[in-house]
Structure formats: structure tokens, C-alpha cells
Structure 1
Amino acid sequence: MRLFKRLLAVLSSLRLAILLLLLIALASAVGTIIPQQEAPELYLERFNADPWLGLINGNLMLQVQLNHVYSSVWFLSLLALLGLALTLCSWRRQWPSLKAALRWTDYSRPRQLSKLALAETVACSDSSAALNDLALELREQGWNVRQQNGRLAARRGVIGRVGPLLVHTGLVLLLIGAAWGALAGQRLERFLAPGRSLDLLSPAGENRLSLTLQDFAIERDPAGRPEQFSSTLLLSPQGNQQEERTISVNHPLRYQGITVYQADWSLATITVQLGRSPLLQLPLSNFPELGDQIWGLVLPTRPDGSEPVFLSTGSEQGPVQVFDSDGSLITNLRPGGDGAEVRGLPLRVVEIMPASGLLLKRDPGVPLVYAGFAITLLGGGLSMVATRQIWAVAETQQAKLHVGGLCNRNLAGFATELPLLINRVGALHG
């Protein structure tokens, strides 16, 4: 039993909660720095050659689950331990403190008041009348007063004692929501070209929603840099009517528990014509080694696949640069513009089709997280409310009124206000 009580004391201690919060913050920082939910090959290729911090290579990173920090066993264990610590702290400390604050404390002797943080005695001709006037003054100022024969007790701001308990409750709800989202949530990133569709399946394998990209637009500044992306989506839910929605950066779509973000953009295909050939729609690949946001493809100019040229571009507006096998620039082409002769063969770029980068998230823990934040903010606001208590005992034979007070916040301010209140009452019965 003694060991169990020690364990409860450790789990409900403030030091453990602070330590767990620091560890969770550190783990969250690591999850922000290291790319998450990528293919294992990416970590092996990138970090085996250049270990993170010079210590953690790709193999070790996968073993300690740094590739998915927020759903790792050790991170969820930290959340569970912090939730347990907050629950035990609320049960062992905050709840008894709240019950004690709701109970009225009755001080009936002047000696008891003299031991309080604030205590004062005033002489008055009629202490009983002074006590009644003090009770009336307190009620007018919004105090809750309980008056008995020859004494009173008053308090204000007791609701502030609910604040810490609400803060703990909100944090526990937030932790539960975060853990639930990490375990049951889904995350999907896809690039869609206009006219392409994406089917979202339920856990049972049934098609619950189809997304079709109808149009994708990129707004650029005068220098050609992208400023905003927007996608027009056609939603086809199973058994319901189709809906058309438009999303853009910072303006996601929320539908049936699924959130669709406009996350990125890319170039999907290039349509070219060689001589009098039919229009050829060819896929573009990203070449990060050539620079940021560079796409291209290798295009043979002969039927046997010989004498290839390399086409590259960084925008759906062009220009498309054409290089020979030696890396020398042959020409620049504009989509929809005139062609040029390349290796003795007319080459024309008809159009470049951009692709919308969509990020789909389903997080069932979001309502709990939002509720936890709201309750935590409410509790934090209530915690700023000072709880003040006043007791007064009238000594009719000695013509004295004894007053004492307590305050859990801003005791110096209360120490200034209380004498002013007593002097107003004493002046009437001096």
C-alpha cells in the first residue's frame, strides 16, 4: 500500500508533468524537422549516406520510428502517461481543492481571524449594526454572504477554483483526440491532372467518395512566381448527388469528416507534335537535380529511338527548353506557339497540363482536440479570477468588529481594498 501511494504521488507530481511536456515538445520538434510518412527507401538513401546529427542513420531512424513520430509507440506512450498524470493530479489535488473551496468555513472567534493573512480590528459604538452594514456593503459589491448570529462569512470569485480542473480536463481531451487521430486517422497525398479522378474507400473497401479534378489554375505574379493555386473539384458521394467545390491554399474543403487541402502543384503532361505526327501527350518527370521545380522528359527524334533531345520547363506557360545529348541548348518553344526544327524534324509544343497537389486527411480526433482547446482556454481564463474570502465577528460587549480575509491571487491588491471597506463601515459607527 505504501509503494502504491508513492507511485500515485510520483505520477501526479508537477515535476513529472513538466518533464513529459518537455519530452513531447522535443519529439514534436523532431517530427517537424524529419520528413514524416515517406517511403522507407527515402530514409535509407538519404540518411545512410548522411546521418542525421551525425549519429542517426536511416536504419536506426526506421527502428526508433522517427519516420512516423506522431503515431510511434513511444510518442503515444508519452501522451498516455501525461494523460494519466493529469487525471491523477485532478483526482488527488484539484477535485479536493474545489470541494474545499465550495464548503463554507465558519470562524466564530476573533482569535481565529487574527491568524489569517489579512486581519484587522476596528472599534465601533454598535458592532452588531456595523456587522449588518458590512454584510449589506458586500452584497452590493456582488459578494455571496452568509450571515449568522454575531458573525458573517463572504466570498467572491469561487468560480476561479474551477479553472485548474477545466485546464486538466481540456488537456486530457486534447491528448485523447491526438492519440485517436494518430491511430485511426488517414492521410493521402496525390497529384491529379484535370479530368482525373480519385476514389476514397471506406475501411470495408466500399467507395464512399470520388473526387474528380475539373479544373486547376495557378495565379502568378508579374515575375512568373506562383502566388495561389485553386482546384475545382466534383464530389461524387456514394448514393448522393454530385457537388462542385473549389479549394485553394488556406481554403480547404471539409466534407463528411474528410478535409481536402490544396497543398502543391506540379506539371503532369506535355503535348507535342513531331512533323505531321498525331498529337502526343507525354508524361513529365520532376528533375530536382536541375533546380527547384523543373520538369522534363527525354524525346527521341528518330523512329529507332536515336538522337534524343531533352525537353525541360518550370512552368505550364513555358518556355520549353530543348537540349541535345551534349547539354547544349537547341531552341526555346512556347506552348501553343510556332514550332522549330530540331534534328531536321519540326517540333511543336501544343500545351502543358499542370497537376493539382491534393492532401486528404481524415482525423476522427479533431472534435476532441477542438473541444480540449476550448475547455483549456476557458479553464485558463477562469483561473485568472481571484477567489476572495472575508470573515467578520462582532464583539458587542467590547464594541469591536474583527475582520479577516484571504485571497489566492493579488493579495497585495486585496490588502489595499479590505481596509478601505472596513473604514467605510467603521466611519458610520465610530
Structure 2
Amino acid sequence: MKYLQYKTLKWKIIKQLSNLNFSIGLLLTISTISILGTVIEQDKNIDFYQFNYPIKPDISYVINWKNILYFGLNHIYTNWWFILLIALFFCSLITCTFSQQMPSLRNARHWKFIPYNKNKNSNIDYLPIKSFINIIYSLSQHNYYVFQRNNKIYGYKGLIGRLAPIFVHISIIITLTGNMLGLFTGFISQEIIPKGETFHIQNFIKSGKYSYLPYNIIGKIDNFSIEYNPNSSIKQFYSSISLKNNKNENLIQQKIYVNSPLKFHGLTFYQTSWNLEGLKIQIDNKLIQQKLQEIKINKIRTWIYNFNFTNHNSLFFLVNGLNNKILIYNSSGQLLQSIQTNETFNIHGHQITIKEIIPSTGIQIKTDPGIPIVYLGFFILIISIITSYLSYNQIWINIENNKIHLKGTTNRGQLTFEEELTQIQKYYIKVTI
């Protein structure tokens, strides 16, 4: 008794999961939530949501920072209920594919010598009986698979057109699998590394529950440079990265820039940002290294360092780029010098040389094992779009009242199919003359 109840419940669940309306409802729900995830900024701090989504006594009261945090709308795509919806949709597609689409495809391959209703068919033509073999030959010449039993003929072509729905389901299943794999095993790390420094992958922005950190890879920023336009605006910036293992053996070295990352064993190193960290200053025979502070002057990024030269004198070093001159002001705001790096100037009996401007580069390290799987899913989806334009045609032929009754149906391209039926008839008449 319990086994029968279990079996009945199992088939009810399978029937519900394979229901087309249920699948469409899940897809629309997931799409709506995804749209909401693009409207509400994701993975920001609490202060951001408190400032941008305050509690107000109007319609926006529903979408405020408290509700956003309570329902997890600040990280929708990693929320447990969103993953549950994806899993349900995944199971629904698999169930629908194997319980409906695959049996439908197998059924389409079977020959069907079934009677037809003349009142329900608009593609019925009558041909004189001259040669039953010739009508079979005519169908074969038009690429139909032909089956004969007694005085009945069945032919079909374009079976691949029936694969389009299956390809769509398979592509979505593969794409979802790739997304889930990336969600649980991928990570994103953001590193700010000064020129010449080594780094480990450690500053994680986002990581999956089962992500793996490659501890045996050490990176180094060998060089950093900026390419400027004629108007002094930045055209591109470059970082030369070398990767080594824990035995200090070189693995790979490459110059990266925006939209040209370094890829190595599933890791991708993107160039994201840059900054000026400090100055190396030589005062007489003493070399010091000081940190720069970023400010904005007329919305232009500028870096400043306040050097207390004596108890009563201060020098201000202003830097606005790697290749631009360094401006030196006194405490009264008077411009004293405008120099390049490695250029020496004298002040208060001391020789001062700016040996180097130390830049830093922003590197985003990302790994996502699901990307190739997602690409495969989209590739299959493209195939499904192409195959969906192919017609699935069926033709039945009976001999009745000394006439050949020809009936045809198609799932798309009705006018093209009617023209093909006319060509088949003409070809039959031609070969039987």
C-alpha cells in the first residue's frame, strides 16, 4: 500500500515538473527576480543601501534598505531561494525533456499508416494511378524517407526540425549547470600591487563555497606604464606580470591591459585600475620613500606629498601623472620648481632628486570553471535556433477509387510545403510519361 502511494506521489511530482505551464511560470519568475537584481545594486555595504534606499512614507516604503537586507535582495544571485528556483527549473527541464520531448522525437521517427480525415486536411491532391513505384521514387527524389505497406505510403523529412525544442532544453540545462558550477567553485579577488612588488591571491571580493585557492602561485608586477593621448588624457595603461611557483620557478610572463587579460591554468588576471603610491626622494646622499595622498583639483586626479623640510619650511610635491612634470610648492603656495624624475634641484643648501614615482596597479583575479560549459550551452542554443527554421513535413498516400490520394502536413512554412507538393506531383507525372 505504501509502495503504491509512493509511486503515485512520484508520478504526480514528475507530471507537475514536466508541465509546460509550470516551467514557463518558473522561467518568468526567475527572469523577474533577475531584472530586480539589475535594478538593485548587488553586494554593496549597508551604508550604501541606507543612503540610497531610505525609509520613506510613500510607495518606495516597500523597497527600503531594511527590506532589501531582510529578503537578501542585496545578493539575489547567491540567495538560497533563488538557487532553489534555479534547481526547480533545472529539474523541470530535465523531466520535460525525458518524459515529453524524447518520446515525441521517437514517435516522429515511426512510420504511421493512419487514415486521414479529408474534412480536416487542406493539402489533399488526387493523382491518376499510373505507377505506384514512381510516386515512391518522386518522394525519394525530394529527400523524403518513404515507407510502404500494401497500397499505403508514408513519408517524412526534416526530422532534425523536431530537435529544436530538445536542443533548447539541453542548452538551458548546460548553461544552468555552468552557472551553478561557477557560483560554487569560482572566486573573484581584487589586488592593488605597487610596481616591483610580489603578491598572493588573498583579497577576495566573492568566492564560492567550494572554491579552491591556488597557494602555489606567486605573482609579481615587473613594470607598470601609462600611454597618453596628445591632449594628456590616458589612452591605455599596462602591467607586466610574471607568475612563479612556490619554488621560485618562472611560469609565465605577460603584459596585460584593459580587455587583454593574462590567462593561466583557469586563472584570469584583468587590468582594472591604477594609482600613484609614493615617491622615492634622494636628499643629498639619503634616499627616502614617502606615500602620496590623492586629491582632486578641478575634477582631475592629483597626488600630493607634504615634506617638512625644516621646522619652518615645508615643501609640497604635486604629481598628476607618470610622465608629467612634478610641481614643487612652498608653504606659501609659491611654485618653486617644475622638474622631471631624476632631475636635481637645490634648496636651502640641499640637493633634492625625485628618483622615481611609484605606481600601483589594480588587478582582478578571477576563476570560473563554469565558463566553458556556459559557452557550450549558448553554442547549442544557436544550433537550436538554426534547426527551428527547418520544417518537419509528412506525406500520406492512399489508393482509393482508382486515384492516388496525397495528403501532406507541415509544422511551418505552409506555402513552401504546398509548392513542394506541386513539384512532387509534376515530377510524378513527368517520370510516368
Q: What TM-score range do you get, normalising by the shorter chain?
A: 0.7 to 0.9
- Which residue of the partner structure matches residue 248 of structure 1? 257
**2:118 corresponds to which of 105, 114, 117:** 114
Cα distance in 1 for residues equivalent to 2:309 and 2:301: 25
Query: Does the CA-based 8 Å contact 1:317-1:352 persist in structure 2?
Result: no
5+ unaligned residues in a row in structure 2: which ranges? 1-7, 203-209
- Which residue of the partner structure matches residue 388 of structure 1? 393
Residue deviations 1:185-226 (CA, integer Å, cap 9, x gap):
111111222211122479787722111111222222111222
Superposed CA RMSD in Å reads: 3.4
What TM-score do you get using the length of structure 1 for normalisation? 0.82
Q: How does 1:393-412 map to 2 (within 5 A)?
A: 393-395=398-400, 398-412=401-415
Q: Residue 78 and residue 8 in structure 1: after superposition, are their counterparts in 2 closer, same or farther (change >3 A)?
A: closer
User: Does the alignment pair 1:330 with 2:338?
Assistant: no
Cα distance in 2 for residues equivalent to 1:170 and 1:340: 68
Cα distance in 2 for residues equivalent to 1:98 and 1:10: 18
Cα distance in 1 for residues equivalent to 2:173 and 2:54: 33
Query: Does the CA-based 8 Å contact 1:118-1:415 persist in structure 2?
Result: no
Q: Secondary structure, in 3 states, of the residue corresponding to 1:104?
A: coil
Specify the code of the residue in structure 2 equivalent to 1:374. F
Residue deviations 1:284-330 (CA, integer Å, cap 9, x gap):
3433x5565624244132455x765554433111233456668x463
Q: Percent identity?
A: 23
User: Does the alignment pair 1:73 with 2:74?
Assistant: no
Q: How does 1:362-381 map to 2 (within 5 A)?
A: 362-381=367-386
The alpha carbon displacement at 1:422 in A equals: 1.8
Query: Does the CA-based 8 Å contact 2:293-2:305 persist in structure 1?
Result: no
Q: Residue 77 and residue 148 in structure 1: after superposition, are their counterparts in 2 closer, same or farther (change >3 A)?
A: same
- Which residue of the partner structure matches residue 195 of structure 2? 194
Cα distance in 2 for residues equivalent to 1:146 and 1:221: 72
Q: How does 1:53-68 map to 2 (within 5 A)?
A: 61-68=68-75
Query: Does the CA-based 8 Å contact 2:26-2:85 persist in structure 1?
Result: no
Cα distance in 2 for residues equivalent to 1:316 and 1:72: 44
**1:216 corresponds to which of 220, 224, 227:** 224
Cα distance in 2 for residues equivalent to 1:172 and 1:343: 74
Specify the code of the residue in structure 1 equivalent to 2:101. Q
User: Does the alignment pair 1:314 with 2:320?
Assistant: yes
User: Does the alignment pair 1:282 with 2:295?
Assistant: no
- Which residue of the partner structure matches residue 242 of structure 2? 234
The alpha carbon displacement at 1:403 in A equals: 0.6
Q: Secondary structure, in 3 states, of the residue corresponding to 1:175?
A: helix
Specify the code of the residue in structure 2 equivalent to 1:370. Y
Residue deviations 1:239-285 (CA, integer Å, cap 9, x gap):
665332222222212111111112222222222345x3623222234
More moved, 217-226 vs 291-300: 291-300
- Which residue of the partner structure matches residue 103 of structure 1? 110
Cα distance in 2 for residues equivalent to 1:232 and 1:169: 42
- Which residue of the partner structure matches residue 261 of structure 1? 270
Q: Secondary structure, in 3 states, of the residue corresponding to 1:96?
A: helix
Q: Residue 63 and residue 12 in structure 1: after superposition, are their counterparts in 2 closer, same or farther (change >3 A)?
A: same
More moved, 116-125 vs 160-169: 116-125
The alpha carbon displacement at 1:417 in A equals: 2.2
Cα distance in 1 for residues equivalent to 2:340 and 2:389: 63
Query: Does the CA-based 8 Å contact 2:153-2:398 persist in structure 1?
Result: yes
**2:417 corresponds to which of 414, 418, 423:** 414
Q: Residue 52 and residue 308 in structure 1: after superposition, are their counterparts in 2 closer, same or farther (change >3 A)?
A: farther
More moved, 247-256 vs 235-244: 235-244
Cα distance in 2 for residues equivalent to 1:135 and 1:203: 61
Cα distance in 2 for residues equivalent to 1:49 and 1:290: 26
Cα distance in 2 for residues equivalent to 1:335 and 1:406: 82
Q: Residue 414 and residue 333 in structure 1: after superposition, are their counterparts in 2 closer, same or farther (change >3 A)?
A: same
Query: Does the CA-based 8 Å contact 1:341-1:347 persist in structure 2?
Result: yes
**1:90 corresponds to which of 97, 102, 110:** 97
Q: Relative contact order, CA 8 A, sep 6+: which one is greater?
A: 1
What TM-score do you get using the length of structure 2 for normalisation? 0.81
Specify the code of the residue in structure 2 equivalent to 1:76. I
Q: Secondary structure, in 3 states, of the residue corresponding to 2:335?
A: strand
The alpha carbon displacement at 1:363 in A equals: 1.0
Q: Residue 116 and residue 291 in structure 1: after superposition, are their counterparts in 2 closer, same or farther (change >3 A)?
A: farther
Q: Secondary structure, in 3 states, of the residue corresponding to 1:223?
A: coil
The alpha carbon displacement at 1:347 in A equals: 5.6
Cα distance in 2 for residues equivalent to 1:91 and 1:206: 40
Query: Does the CA-based 8 Å contact 1:11-1:84 persist in structure 2?
Result: no
Q: Secondary structure, in 3 states, of the residue corresponding to 2:200?
A: strand
Q: Residue 342 and residue 178 in structure 1: after superposition, are their counterparts in 2 closer, same or farther (change >3 A)?
A: farther
The alpha carbon displacement at 1:95 in A equals: 2.4
Residue deviations 1:74-112 (CA, integer Å, cap 9, x gap):
4333432332332333234322322221222113x5xx1
Cα distance in 1 for residues equivalent to 2:211 and 2:383: 36
Query: Does the CA-based 8 Å contact 1:333-1:340 persist in structure 2?
Result: no
Cα distance in 2 for residues equivalent to 1:230 and 1:423: 69
Query: Does the CA-based 8 Å contact 1:273-1:280 persist in structure 2?
Result: yes
Q: Secondary structure, in 3 states, of the residue corresponding to 1:224?
A: coil
Total equivalences in the alignment: 411
The alpha carbon displacement at 1:416 in A equals: 2.6
More moved, 255-264 vs 346-355: 346-355
Q: Secondary structure, in 3 states, of the residue corresponding to 1:336?
A: coil
- Which residue of the partner structure matches residue 206 of structure 2? none
